[in-house]
Amino acid sequence: MYSLHGKTAMVTGAASGIGRATALILSEAGANIAVLDIDDQGVRAVANDIVKQGGQVKFLHCDVTSATDCQRAVTRTIQEFGDIHILFNNAGIIRRASVLDTSEEEWDLVMAVNVKSIFLLSKLVIPFMEKAGGGAIVNTSSGWGMVGGKKAVSYCASKAAVVNMTRAMALDHGAQNIRVNCICPGDTDTPMLKNEALQLGQAEGDFLEEAAHRPLGRIGTPEEIAQAVHYLVSEASSFVTGAVLVVDGGGLAG
């Protein structure tokens, strides 16, 4: 594994799915981990799992759409570990609806969780990264940040914003030795994916079978996405910034 010993990583949306898997993998690689989520039970459980594998962890309740919560989380992480070298902006939600069926409140919530949270936490963390001599930020976009998808207009808009926000941040902060990249996962075996079936009124089995229609013939696992994040925050990707890494089993290939 690419060693992260001596590093501190902050992971949002860490209670389940890709966030949980990434927190565990980065801890296994040696990083101190701050896990953030509004799901207190879930984030406490992943923290306990990190402790069981011998890692150092701080679990924090954080509504990533709140500047106050984000400030508190960053302050407590610095108090606990001294620095923040890695930020994985992973928290996200999806609402499966067209423009006509999306309420203003739903639009605002999706944009706040998926985009505003990246702005808030990056703004707070980058000065500490600069002081530490550099760092790595990874933002979670989606395959639907690069192509459109049916009945997901707010999600598609938010994830496209993440892609170009990542590029802009890479340009702005390269001089401080801060690398900024994003991942674009395809359908992955997470609670959020299964919730999409519920939102669309489809049987879960049928929905997941349809999601597996890609060259590799299956959906991804959270651990497979987490390994891509691990690469992007490690020294193995030391010359990679502003990149959009698609991890989707070939779904966008053609």
- 231 given a catalytic annotation: no
Burial label, 173 (beta-carbon count in 10 A; 0-12, 13-18, 19+): buried
Q: CA-based angle 238:225:218, to the nearest 5?
A: 140
Element (H, E) at 194: helix 191-200
Ramachandran bin of 133, using left for φ above 0, alpha for ψ from -120 to 50, beta for the remaining angles: left
Single out the catalytic residue among 92, 155, 189, 197. Answer: 155
162 and 180 Cβ atoms separated by less than 8 Å = no
Nearest to 34 by CA among 51, 1, 58: 58
Total residue length of the chain: 254
First to last CA, the chain: 32
Single-letter code of the amino acid located at 199: Q
Element (H, E) at 202: none
Map tokens 């605002």 to a residue: 108
Strand, helix or coil for residue 46: helix
Task: Enumerate residues 6+ apart whose C-beta is below 8 A from 246.
Answer: 143, 146, 183, 184, 186, 252
Q: Please list the active-site residues.
A: 155
